[in-house]
Amino acid sequence: MSTAVAPDSERDTGRATKAKDSDRSVAENRLGQKLVAPAVIMMVLVTAWPMAQALYLSLFRYRLTTPDDREFVGLGNYGTVLTDSLFWRDTWNTVLIMVITVGVELVIGFAFAMVMHKIMIARGLMRTSILIPYGIITVVSAFAWQFAFSLNNGFVNSWLPFFEDNFNWFGDHWPAMFAIMVSEIWKTTPFMALLLLAGLSQVSEDMLEAAEVDGASWWQRLWKVILPNMRAAIMVAVLFRALDAYRIFDQIYIMTKGAQDTESISFLTYRQVIEQMQLGMGSALSVLLFLSVLILAFGIVKLFRVDLAQARGEG
Amino acid sequence: MAVAAAIVCTASLAACSGDDGGAPELTWYINPDAGGQDAVAEACSTDAYTISTQVLPQDSSQQRIQLARRIAADDPSIDLMSLDPPFTAEFANAGYLAEIPQDMQDAFREQAFDSAAEAATWEDELVVAPFWSNTQVLWYRKSFVEKAGIDMDQPVTWDQIIQAASENGGKIGVQANKYEGYSVWINALISGAGGQIASETDRGADAEIDIASEAGQEAARVIEELTASEAAPADLSVSNEGTSGTTFGGDQGSFLVNWTYIWGNYGDDRLGDDIGFARYPQTVEGEESRPPYGGIGIGVSSSSDNEEEAIEALECLTSPENQGLNAELTQNMPSSEAGYDQPALKELFPPELVALFQESLETAAPRTVSPYWSDMSSAIQSTWHPPSAVDQETPEQSANFIEEILNGDSLL
């Protein structure tokens, strides 16, 4: 059975008109630019300026507590960071957390979205209860899970079979990473489910019925009809969550403070800038963090081959 | 914010610092305690100024971060601050501390214990006024010691207590999470073996790093031995002052190294009068132990709008009476002999314990006084944590790592 996707006529006409824009679309574009200008200027002031400042600072050896030592080092900070094993280990941790949590969230989130979509009784109550974890502040959820896994006052060990009562979840790398990821997954799966629910409700019932009449099994309808038609929604969900997960900080800060090699890139950056007050080195790290997030976003957009204009519903 | 401040200011003019005419309000940033510093602030408020307190975070590294960042940004709202000794040199070196007049420096130095004065000094200047001094002793459960049959009247070694605890099903409480408290323990172990972490610290980042020494290896050996033994609590790698106190109070409690306030930690009952105390354990048999030194010095912010009044207030805040008052309320012990002489303390602690505190303070080993201590400490924590990974190579590795960090060749 071939994959059924809604006709792409809109996209085709979009390409055709791109060649020569009508007077009307030119005028609309101009108006659009004027309307968006105040927001752009504000954005430049509040985001571009600090970014430029970080870029500038990253070229110096500059420590807040020894301001007299400030010295121009060019790309030296980047060299130190990129050749340091700690940076790469933290990058690996971050990528690992991102891939695993987003993967698990996608599966569980999809199941939740299906439940929210299909359920007939107590719909509001069910949707609300699924969304509750997302409404909880990340730091609070991290504390809750830290207490749950804690050896001194936690309950996880006594609930789980095969674990001794004195198993220290934060005493070793993998258990600590596991605890961090559980907290992250618990907290953000509802967000994933919400985004997927939006995509799910866009899948045409007609197509599903047609597939059913054609004799497609439940599994075939899921893989050949529902998922391909949700591609844009999945892309948005994965993109948002991946970028969020890549910047993971709160859970690590609360649960391990980076001990047991559980540090992420954001945490490393925080330590350089805030704890060690190394403004130069820390700025270099933030610039690298920003670049890697950009690359990540670009990669995900490419991977899902989604036309962003189409996702916005533009012609 | 500004609007809110303006409203508050109009409502009560006198309370607003910087207002001409009214008595200024000095804001003292304090580390969290059981109300001792609040009481001292009230006792020292005069017609010329009132002192109010603002509480800093619990974690001493976070206290350092908040104070340093605010003063670096010239925040005038901090007048006085309670500073942990390991960060005093860094603050003084960065110019965050207002200079104390020479006659006051002399008076404070005269009053304080030597270890307290040493921890408050940077480049021959007393930069903070020693307020309270803390040290660690070896706490033990009397019933456990009786069962194990150790004579606690003689100095004991780490080897002895590890052996006694593991043979009798006890757990030893230490501080080995990845935090400043772990550096405190490591520093005490190294000093107890006659070594030090660094010297020549007035050369700043070019200081001599001495941790890769026989003393460093002795320290590593003690940690190795404890982690490999039955006496290691399950939460060793995440243990801090609080959790180790809980271990000590539990069924398997045996020995605990911890600060002076442990005496008041278990209520008046003291675990059924089961708490004993002795001198901090020796790293090497026969060599006098060097207990950790902690405490608080009070500094005046160089960005304060009320520098003169704040410096004036130091005298009252750190007077023997107020050191005694603070100790009475918080069990954080005075930084001077005169403070120890306050009558209230005599009722609070048995005389032998007071004598032990004083003796421990006199021989206590402060952490390396260097503006780069927080880097050194973090570097030690990254190489020595988790404690189960410590071996005879660790001191050498940490020395190399500290040097790389101070040279800016490595990320910390």
* C-beta atoms of B177 and A152 within 8 A: no
Count of Cβ atoms closer than 10 Å to residue B92 Cβ: 24
Q: Give the CA dihedral B144, B149, B153, B159, nearest 10 degrees.
A: -90
List CB contacts (< 8 A) between A64 and chain B. 68-69, 72, 94
Determine the Cα–Cα distance for residues A260 and B237; give it in Å rounded to an integer.
Answer: 9
- With respect to residue A23, please indicate whether it lies within any of the assigned structural domains: no
The answer to whether A141 touches A204, Cβ cutoff 8 Å, is no
Burial class from Cβ neighbours inside 10 Å (0-12, 13-18, 19+) for residue A108 reads middle
**Across A64-77, average pLDDT:** 85
Residue to mutate among A65, A83, A89, A268, with most B CBs inside 10 A, is: A65
List CB contacts (< 8 A) between B412 and chain A. 86, 271-272, 276
- With respect to residue B204, please indicate whether it lies within any of the assigned structural domains: yes
The answer to whether A196 touches A110, Cβ cutoff 8 Å, is yes
Residue B376: closest CA among B359, B350, B400: B400
Q: Are residues B99 and B20 in the same domain?
A: yes
> What pLDDT score was predicted for residue A68?
77
* C-alpha to C-alpha distances, B406 to B120, B209, B320, B400, B412, nearest whole angstrom: 23, 10, 39, 10, 10
Determine the Cα–Cα distance for residues A143 and A146; give it in Å rounded to an integer.
Answer: 5
Q: Are residues B96 and B146 in the same domain?
A: no
Q: Tell me how many domains chain B contains.
A: 2
Q: Are residues B281 and B180 in the same domain?
A: yes
Among A64, A257, A260, beta carbon nearest to B386: A260
Q: Are residues B246 and B394 in the same domain?
A: yes
* C-alpha to C-alpha distances, B354 to A139, B35, B291, nearest whole angstrom: 42, 21, 15
* Residue B37, domain extent: 2-133+294-357
Q: Are residues B108 and B142 in the same domain?
A: no
- With respect to residue A68, please indicate whether it lies within any of the assigned structural domains: no
Domain-terminating residue out of B315, B335, B357 = B357
Determine the residue type at B302.
S
Query: Which H/E stretch holds residue B28?
Result: strand B25-30
List per-block mean pLDDT (blocks of 10 residues) for chain B, which spans 412 residues. 43 44 87 93 93 92 92 94 92 94 95 90 93 94 92 93 94 93 95 93 86 95 95 92 92 93 85 92 94 94 94 94 92 90 84 91 88 90 93 95 86 82
Determine the Cα–Cα distance for residues B263 and B276; give it in Å rounded to an integer.
Answer: 9
Q: What is the DSSP string of A211-275?
A: HHHTT--HHHIIIIIIHHHTHHHHHHHHHHHHHHHHT--HHHHHHTTTTTTT--HHHHHHIIIII
Instruction: Please state the φ and ψ torsions of residue B369, each to the nearest 5 degrees.
Output: -85, 100
Q: Are residues B193 and B333 in the same domain?
A: no
Q: Are residues B62 and B194 in the same domain?
A: no
Instruction: Please state the φ and ψ torsions of residue B254, each to the nearest 5 degrees.
Output: -135, -65
- Among chain B residues, the shortest Cα distance to A65 is held by B94
Residue B395: closest CA among B186, B202, B232: B186
- With respect to residue B211, please indicate whether it lies within any of the assigned structural domains: yes
List CB contacts (< 8 A) between B405 and chain A. none
> What pLDDT score was predicted for residue A19?
54
To the nearest whole angstrom, how far is the Cα of B261 from the nearest Cα of chain A?
A: 21
To the nearest whole angstrom, how far is the Cα of A78 from the nearest Cα of chain B?
A: 11
List CB contacts (< 8 A) between B238 and chain A. 151, 168, 170-171, 259
Cis peptide before B386 (omega within 30 of 0): yes
Residue to mutate among A83, A85, A152, with most B CBs inside 10 A, is: A152
Q: Are residues B286 and B400 in the same domain?
A: yes
Instruction: Please state the φ and ψ torsions of residue A261, each to the nearest 5 degrees.
Output: 55, 40
- Among chain B residues, the shortest Cα distance to A275 is held by B65
- With respect to residue A156, please indicate whether it lies within any of the assigned structural domains: yes
Among A81, A166, A268, beta carbon nearest to B234: A166
* C-beta atoms of B61 and A268 within 8 A: no
- With respect to residue B362, please indicate whether it lies within any of the assigned structural domains: no
- With respect to residue A57, please indicate whether it lies within any of the assigned structural domains: no
Q: Are residues B161 and B84 in the same domain?
A: no
Domain-terminating residue out of B316, B334, B357 = B357
A127: pLDDT confidence band, cut at 50, 70 and 90?
confident
List CB contacts (< 8 A) between B239 and chain A. none
Q: pLDDT higher for A2 or B22?
A: B22
- With respect to residue A55, please indicate whether it lies within any of the assigned structural domains: no
CATH number of the domain encompassing residue A174: 1.10.3720.10
Determine the Cα–Cα distance for residues B291 and B289; give it in Å rounded to an integer.
Answer: 6
Cα A274 vs. chain centroid, distance in angstroms?
A: 24
> What pLDDT score was predicted for residue A12?
47
A314: pLDDT confidence band, cut at 50, 70 and 90?
very low
> What pLDDT score was predicted for residue B3?
43
- The pLDDT tens digits for B27-56 are 999 999 989 999 999 999 998 999 999 999
Among A64, A166, A276, beta carbon nearest to B412: A276
Determine the Cα–Cα distance for residues A145 and A161; give it in Å rounded to an integer.
Answer: 18
List CB contacts (< 8 A) between A168 and chain B. 234-235, 237-238
> What pLDDT score was predicted for residue B202?
81
- With respect to residue A262, please indicate whether it lies within any of the assigned structural domains: yes
For B9, the token pair is 């200011």
Q: Are residues B310 and B350 in the same domain?
A: yes
Among B68, B93, B236, beta carbon nearest to A277: B68
Q: Tell me how many domains chain A contains.
A: 1
Determine the Cα–Cα distance for residues B249 and A88; give it in Å rounded to an integer.
Answer: 42
Among A81, A152, A275, beta carbon nearest to B65: A275
- Among chain A residues, the shortest Cα distance to B90 is held by A65
- With respect to residue B216, please indicate whether it lies within any of the assigned structural domains: yes
Determine the residue type at A278.
Q
In the DSSP assignment, the letter for residue B288 is P
List CB contacts (< 8 A) between B243 and chain A. 152
> What pLDDT score was predicted for residue B19?
46
CATH number of the domain encompassing residue B157: 3.40.190.10
* C-beta atoms of A259 and B374 within 8 A: no
Task: Provide the mean pLDDT of chain A.
Answer: 87
How many pairs of residues across A and B have Cβ atoms under 8 Å apart?
A: 82
* Residue A100, domain extent: 85-311
Could you report the predicted ipTM of this complex, rounded to two decimals?
A: 0.72
For A153, the token pair is 């006052």
Q: Are residues B38 and B100 in the same domain?
A: yes
- With respect to residue A97, please indicate whether it lies within any of the assigned structural domains: yes
Q: What 3-state class would DSSP assign to B171?
A: strand
* C-beta atoms of A259 and B385 within 8 A: yes
- The pLDDT tens digits for A180-206 are 999 999 999 999 999 999 999 888 889
**Across A205-218, average pLDDT:** 91
- With respect to residue B229, please indicate whether it lies within any of the assigned structural domains: yes
- With respect to residue B239, please indicate whether it lies within any of the assigned structural domains: yes
- With respect to residue B327, please indicate whether it lies within any of the assigned structural domains: yes
Q: What 3-state class would DSSP assign to B140?
A: strand
- With respect to residue B101, please indicate whether it lies within any of the assigned structural domains: yes
Strands (E), B151-234: 171-173, 198-199, 208-209
Count of Cβ atoms closer than 10 Å to residue B89 Cβ: 26
By residue count, chain B amounts to 412
Chain B residue set in contact with A, beta carbons under 8 Å: 61, 65, 68-69, 72, 90-91, 93-94, 96, 177-179, 204, 234-238, 243, 246, 371, 374-375, 378, 385-386, 408-412
Determine the Cα–Cα distance for residues B99 and B225; give it in Å rounded to an integer.
Answer: 46
- Among chain A residues, the shortest Cα distance to B382 is held by A259
- The pLDDT tens digits for A24-37 are 889 999 999 999 99
To the nearest whole angstrom, how far is the Cα of A244 from the nearest Cα of chain B?
A: 24
List CB contacts (< 8 A) between B68 and chain A. 64-65, 277
List CB contacts (< 8 A) between A172 and chain B. 386
Determine the Cα–Cα distance for residues B404 and B412; give it in Å rounded to an integer.
Answer: 9
* C-beta atoms of A65 and B68 within 8 A: yes
- With respect to residue A43, please indicate whether it lies within any of the assigned structural domains: no
Q: Are residues B158 and B99 in the same domain?
A: no
Q: What 3-state class would DSSP assign to B391?
A: coil
Chain A residue set in contact with B, beta carbons under 8 Å: 61, 64-67, 80-81, 84, 86-87, 151-152, 166-168, 170-172, 257-260, 268, 271-272, 274-277, 281
Count of Cβ atoms closer than 10 Å to residue A257 Cβ: 20
By residue count, chain A amounts to 315
* C-alpha to C-alpha distances, B249 to A242, A315, B132, B167, B270, nearest whole angstrom: 45, 71, 26, 19, 9
> What pLDDT score was predicted for residue B44?
94
Residue B362 bridge partners (DSSP): none
Residue B289: closest CA among B160, B199, B131: B160
* C-alpha to C-alpha distances, B217 to A152, B126, B167, B186, B214, nearest whole angstrom: 31, 34, 25, 11, 5
- Among chain A residues, the shortest Cα distance to B68 is held by A65
